[in-house]
Amino acid sequence: MPDPLSRSPRLQTRLIAAGVAPAIHALCRSVTWKIEGAEHYDAIIRSGRQPIIAFWHGRILPATWFFRNRGIVALTSANFDGQWIARVIERLGNRTVAGSSSRGGVRALLQLKRELAAGHPVAFALDGPRGPARVAQPGAQWLAAATGNPILPFHAEASAFWEVSSWDRTQVPKPFSKVVISISPPLEFIAGDDEASTRTSGLLIDARARAEANALDTIRTL
């Protein structure tokens, strides 16, 4: 897909990513990772289908690192912030498609549909790019129903972190903390499923509770 930005801001996004990506490398290599439910991802791949990876926008940093170098195609916003994040994702070994509910969303979903058909996993921040926070938007559910591929919800929680003052309360793990990745069982959808968003949000809520409990256990034992 064509780059949604003009030349000057496009160059800025690449310069930002050139600084941010090494910082993420250094930070995340200092972190201890605990993964719950990795077998769900592996089982989908073994079945010959592809996961539609779903998470809340506020956990995009650990998501970007944990799922690096897997040939995943992530949906990112077409605006400036979304595009420098896209360049970081690409530097960490995945690809991106630009679009949102307000700009290029239909075209982006159709591209992701083609990527799934070609054998590539895709990834969504379900409440992005503008929120409201932790309220699932319908794109991932539509994609799952249209392609027959399951949604794979997960949540990440750090034992010690900074929190950005933004609509999504982005969490940045502190160096040498522990990050828990809790992956839920996959969800299947069919067209016209009125409970799709509720079920997806419910699994993400459960995953968050499990991840937070494990992160808090780490804090108590430090």
Residue 151 phi/psi, 5-degree rounding, is -85, 135
Which domain does 70 fall in, by range? 7-221
Name the residue with higher pLDDT: 79 or 89: 89
CA-wise closest residue to 56 among 123, 122, 111, 143: 123
Within a domain: 29: yes
Distance CA 171, CA 177 (A): 12
Confidence of residue 219 (pLDDT cuts 50, 70, 90): very low
* % of the chain beyond a pLDDT of 90: 64
- Whether the bond into 138 is cis, omega within 30 of 0: no
Q: In which element (H, E) is residue 20 found?
A: helix 7-30
Within a domain: 72: yes
CB under 8 Å to 158, separation ≥6 — which residues?
Answer: 31, 62, 171, 173, 174, 177, 178, 179, 180, 215
| pLDDT for res 76 | 93
Confidence of residue 211 (pLDDT cuts 50, 70, 90): confident
For residue 194, count other CB atoms closer than 10 A to its CB: 6
pLDDT in tens, 112-156: 999 999 999 999 998 877 778 888 888 888 899 999 999 999 999
**Rounded mean pLDDT of the chain?**
89
| pLDDT for res 194 | 65
Within a domain: 194: yes
Quick one: average pLDDT of 77-106?
A: 87
Within a domain: 206: yes
CB under 8 Å to 81, separation ≥6 — which residues?
Answer: 129
- By the 8 A CB rule, do 55 and 154 touch? yes
Q: How many domains does the chain have?
A: 1
Distance CA 116, CA 143 (A): 9
* % of the chain beyond a pLDDT of 70: 90
Within a domain: 2: no
Confidence of residue 101 (pLDDT cuts 50, 70, 90): low
Within a domain: 162: yes
| pLDDT for res 212 | 83
Within a domain: 1: no
| pLDDT for res 132 | 87
